[in-house]
Amino acid sequence: MTVAQSLLDRLDDPTLLCTNAFIGGEHVSKGADGAHFAVHNPANGEVLAELPDLGAEAVNTAVDSAYEAQRAWAATTGTHKSDTLKVWHRLWVENADDLATIMTAEQGKPLAEAKGEVLYGASFLEWYSEEAKRIYGDTIPGHREDTRILVLKEPVGVVGAITPWNFPNAMIARKVAPALATGCAMVAKPAAETPLSTLALAVLAERAGLPMELFSVVTASRGAPIGDAMTSNPRVAKITFTGSTEVGRQLMRQGADQIKKLGLELGGNAPFIVFEDADIDAAVQGALQSKYRNAGQTCVCTNRIYVQSGIVKEFTKALATAVAEMQVGDGFGENVDIGPLINEASVQKVSEHIEDAVVRGGTVETGGETHSAGPLFFKPTVISGATDDMLIAHEETFGPVAPIFTFDNEAEVIERANDSEFGLAGYFFSRDVARVFRVAEGLKTGMIGVNTGLISTAVAPFGGVKQSGIGREGSRYGAEDYLNIKYVCLGGIT
Ligand code: SIN
């Protein structure tokens, strides 16, 4: 299989660039009839590697192995699970530079940002390696004198994971870490655009001594056949998916026949509200972090910025000035802030949202067009005069465009912010304590950043309400999603 020498040359350990899938403890180098697919660098179109294009058969083989291995894994002590995850975590951190390099090559994000994501991913391993020893049950006073009641927490079993291209390291991390810590096994299907990061993690997992029947990585160019195989296999107890609401809906429909457990992290349309009592400089920094992280390709990215009328001019000028200074370029370049978008469809969507906004009266303050670095590069953009009838007010742009809406009062902005079928993240800036509580309670989202644009961490529950998803990832709540509750009633105790 092809592997780009240019990428191998950048790695301290070239064996991390793996072109085999991991199926039920075996390395698989070929799909049926030799089918394979190519992974490209979005910055320049170079083919980085060719991988086996696998299908339902590989999923079923992986699930069968996982099914057997999971029972033995569940029976091990919390300390054993913890120790194994700790070794994986150590190798993850030790190889962070190479993992970041692989990520930048296949995903495009700037190298420093990729390294940040690798360490963010590793933090889930660390956190759940500690939590593996604390999967506590409960006791409840009996309802009769001769009874005692126990509540046991048991791993759900084999979990099918489908992960996205925008965070190729952290999204698998926050699924596999709680799954293994609670005694589950996982069959993962990384996005076709960015499978190399997950494969590199699998190489490290194997080195860490994890029985690899517990963690298969199915490489495939298309998600639908893999989703079908996972949802129709009765040995898969749960599906965890991060990606679009449309695909989440599809998996939910498919999982209905077998009442699959589901964890869904879906789309967002995050409002970012700046009140007149806010620290405007801090709000501008928060908007930069929340909007332009990963070139705006983040589910929790700000999609709509609402600024109170008295400060809208000042805020717009400050944001546009800062955005105009951002450097666009190849993620391996020096001081680059914004890498390429993932594909042509993303560029088209961003362009469409900007055109629509301009037709409806918006003004491009900075950016607004593709960048000379290449066809997938887009200039970070600020649009003033945004209105609620624009596409950008209702659809997730998933690109580096910040539309600025104006509002007059608190009740009005809460209503407009909540006018969305999505409810993942929301942000606001205010120094009024009473307002902080009112607005945090009023916004219908699963996560809220107050006076900060960065909310993602392994120690807190990440997840949405409404059509943004089901379940939580990270923190002890993230572990609960991989556990069944079993109640045992002990009678005859006299
Ligand atoms: C996402 O885009 O779904 C995840 C981003 C994050 O963890 O911050």
Taking the C-alpha atoms of residue 305 and residue 428, their distance in angstroms, rounded to an integer, is 9
CATH number at residue 409: 3.40.309.10
Strand order of the β-sheet with 483-490 is 138-141, 148-155, 483-490
Q: Are residues 277 and 394 in the same domain?
A: yes
Phi and psi at 488, nearest 5°, equal: -115, 125
Taking the C-alpha atoms of residue 162 and residue 228, their distance in angstroms, rounded to an integer, is 12
Mean pLDDT of 348-376: 98
CB 135 within 8 A of CB 162: no
Asked if residue 347 has its Cβ within 6 Å of ligand 1, the reply is no
CA of 298 to the centre of ligand 1 (A): 5
Nearest of 189, 191, 198 to residue 240 by alpha carbon: 189
Q: Is residue 492 part of a domain?
A: no
Ligand 1: which atom is nearest the Cα of residue 120?
7
CA of 304 to the centre of ligand 1 (A): 17
Q: Are residues 214 and 290 in the same domain?
A: no
Half-sphere exposure of 80 (CA within 13 A, CB side): 10
Q: Each residue of 100-138: b (16+ CB within 10 Å) or e?
A: bbbbbbbbbbbbebbbbbbbbbbbbbbbbbebbeebeee
Which residue out of 171, 241, 342, 396 has the highest number of ligand 1 atoms within 8 Å of its CB and is therefore the one to mutate?
Answer: 171
Ligand 1: which atom is nearest the Cα of residue 164?
3
Q: Are residues 451 and 474 in the same domain?
A: no
Q: Are residues 201 and 287 in the same domain?
A: no
CB 472 within 8 A of CB 463: yes
Categorize the per-residue pLDDT at 93 as very low, low, confident or very high, splitting at 50, 70 and 90.
very high
Q: Is residue 493 part of a domain?
A: no
Which residues are catalytic, by number? Answer: 265, 299
pLDDT of 1 strictly over 80: no
Q: Which 3 state secondary structure label does DSSP give 112?
A: helix
CB 287 within 8 A of CB 316: no
CB 428 within 8 A of CB 272: yes
Say what the pTM is.
0.97
pLDDT at 150: 98
> What is the extent of the structural domain holding 405?
270-457
Categorize the per-residue pLDDT at 238 as very low, low, confident or very high, splitting at 50, 70 and 90.
very high
Asked if residue 84 has its Cβ within 6 Å of ligand 1, the reply is no
Atom 5, ligand 1: which residue's CA is nearest?
A: 298
CA of 300 to the centre of ligand 1 (A): 6
Q: Are residues 129 and 36 in the same domain?
A: yes
Taking the C-alpha atoms of residue 405 and residue 393, their distance in angstroms, rounded to an integer, is 9
Task: Give the chain's length.
Answer: 494
Taking the C-alpha atoms of residue 393 and residue 396, their distance in angstroms, rounded to an integer, is 8
Q: Are residues 24 and 69 in the same domain?
A: yes
Report the DSSP pairing between strands 270-274 and 422-423.
Answer: unpaired
Which residue out of 113, 163, 167, 245 has the highest number of ligand 1 atoms within 8 Å of its CB and is therefore the one to mutate?
Answer: 167
pLDDT at 25: 97
- The number of folded domains in the chain is 2
Vertex 209 angle, CA 206 and 215, to 5°: 50
Taking the C-alpha atoms of residue 13 and residue 33, their distance in angstroms, rounded to an integer, is 31
Q: Is residue 463 part of a domain?
A: no
Taking the C-alpha atoms of residue 176 and residue 183, their distance in angstroms, rounded to an integer, is 11
Cα–chain-centroid distance for residue 118? 12
CA of 267 to the centre of ligand 1 (A): 10
Taking the C-alpha atoms of residue 428 and residue 448, their distance in angstroms, rounded to an integer, is 8
Q: Are residues 354 and 479 in the same domain?
A: no
Q: Are residues 208 and 316 in the same domain?
A: no
Residue whose token pair is 């992960």: 163
Number of CB atoms found within 10 A of residue 419's CB: 14
Which residue out of 117, 166, 422 has the highest number of ligand 1 atoms within 8 Å of its CB and is therefore the one to mutate?
Answer: 166
Q: Are residues 261 and 397 in the same domain?
A: no
Q: Is residue 304 part of a domain?
A: yes
Ligand 1: which atom is nearest the Cα of residue 298?
2
pLDDT at 2: 83
Report the DSSP pairing between strands 138-141 and 381-386.
Answer: unpaired
H-only helix segments in 132-263? 170-181, 195-207, 224-232, 245-255
- Percentage of the chain exceeding pLDDT 90: 99
Phi and psi at 448, nearest 5°, equal: -135, 130
Instruction: Return the H-helix or E-strand segment holding 348.
Output: helix 344-359
pLDDT of 404 strictly over 80: yes
Number of CB atoms found within 10 A of residue 38's CB: 15
Q: What is the DSSP letter of 370?
A: B
Q: Is residue 494 part of a domain?
A: no
Average per-residue pLDDT for the chain: 98
Q: What is the DSSP letter of 145?
A: T
The radius of gyration of the chain from alpha carbons, rounded to an integer in Å, stands at: 23
CATH number at residue 26: 3.40.605.10
Asked if residue 170 has its Cβ within 6 Å of ligand 1, the reply is yes
Q: Is residue 189 part of a domain?
A: yes
Ligand 1: which atom is nearest the Cα of residue 297?
2
Give the C-alpha distances (Å, rounded to integers) separating 136 from 74, 152, 168, 182, 479: 14, 8, 31, 10, 11
Q: Are residues 258 and 286 in the same domain?
A: no
Q: Are residues 148 and 131 in the same domain?
A: yes
In the structure encoding, which two tokens stand for residue 449, read together?
A: 């950043």
Taking the C-alpha atoms of residue 92 and residue 55, their distance in angstroms, rounded to an integer, is 28
Taking the C-alpha atoms of residue 166 and residue 147, their distance in angstroms, rounded to an integer, is 52
CA of 424 to the centre of ligand 1 (A): 10
Strand partners, 153: 485
Categorize the per-residue pLDDT at 32 as very low, low, confident or very high, splitting at 50, 70 and 90.
confident
Q: Is residue 209 part of a domain?
A: yes
Atom 7, ligand 1: which residue's CA is nearest?
A: 456
Q: Is residue 210 part of a domain?
A: yes
Mean pLDDT of 405-424: 98
Q: Are residues 253 and 354 in the same domain?
A: no
Categorize the per-residue pLDDT at 33 as very low, low, confident or very high, splitting at 50, 70 and 90.
confident
Asked if residue 166 has its Cβ within 6 Å of ligand 1, the reply is yes
